[in-house]
Amino acid sequence: MKKIIICDDHPIVREGLKQLITGFGNYEILDDVESGEALMKRLKKGTPHIVILDVSLPGSSGLEVLKSLKAVYENISVLILSMYPEDQFALRMIKAGASGYLHKDSKPEILKEALDRISTGEEYISQSLTKILLGAVHGKKTTKANHELLSDREFEVFLALGEGLSLSDIGCKLNLSVKTISTYKSRIYDKMNMENTSEIVRYIMLNELGAQKDILERV
């Protein structure tokens, strides 16, 4: 039996995943936690074969948690399960050590396929993500989109600004000071050639980067 720990801040999602994965057979849900901090603490008590990790978490983001996890537990496979599109976060996650990336709208049989492949030490790369990876390798994109110029942390702040969060809220979410978030905000404006959060929101919507469809209503 392959052991799994689920890390997602929504109890309903965790419970649904537990029931679904248990029904697949060959998998045991070792535990489920609501944050990256809780996950790292739980791993000290015993490690699973696979961690299912959400991108958006309270405190440290999924990307930050992934990097911390792989730095200590290199042999744990991580499947990212997120509401964000593949072309937004998948490349960053794969580069950081994730074994696969799935959108939360994926069908149960796709989740099973991903887990079955990852449980054998392979990676799960969807057809759409394969195209993105091949494009990056062969340099098919001659110019980068503006948001691809942002660092991982800047990108996280960029998305949080697009969600309408205040600097203090973003600081709490990412465990950073307001001053630091303000510095990131200035860098984002410079790199993106923007002047306010309304422009960020519109950019996110036009490029289909956001996880929520009603984001424009927040500004």
Q: Where are the domains of the chain?
A: 2-137, 146-218
CA distance 138 to 87: 16
CA distance 204 to 194: 13
Tokens matching residue 2: 């392959």
Q: What angle do CA 102, 43, 3 make, to 5 degrees?
A: 55
Amino acid 134: pLDDT: 64
The Cα-based distances of 37 to 23, 62, 69, 195 in angstroms read 28, 10, 10, 34
- φ/ψ of residue 122, rounded to 5: -90, 175
Please name the CATH architecture into which domain 146-218 falls.
Answer: Orthogonal Bundle (1.10)
CA distance 47 to 117: 19
Summarize pLDDT for 11-25 with one digit per residue, the tens. 999 999 999 999 998
Domain 2-137 in this protein, CATH class: alpha beta
Amino acid 97: pLDDT: 93
- Kindly calculate the radius of gyration of the chain based on its CA atoms and give it in whole angstroms: 18
The secondary structure element, H or E, covering residue 130 is: helix 127-137
3-state class (DSSP) for residue 29: strand
Identify the segments of the chain with pLDDT beneath 50: 142, 212-219
pTM for this entry: 0.74
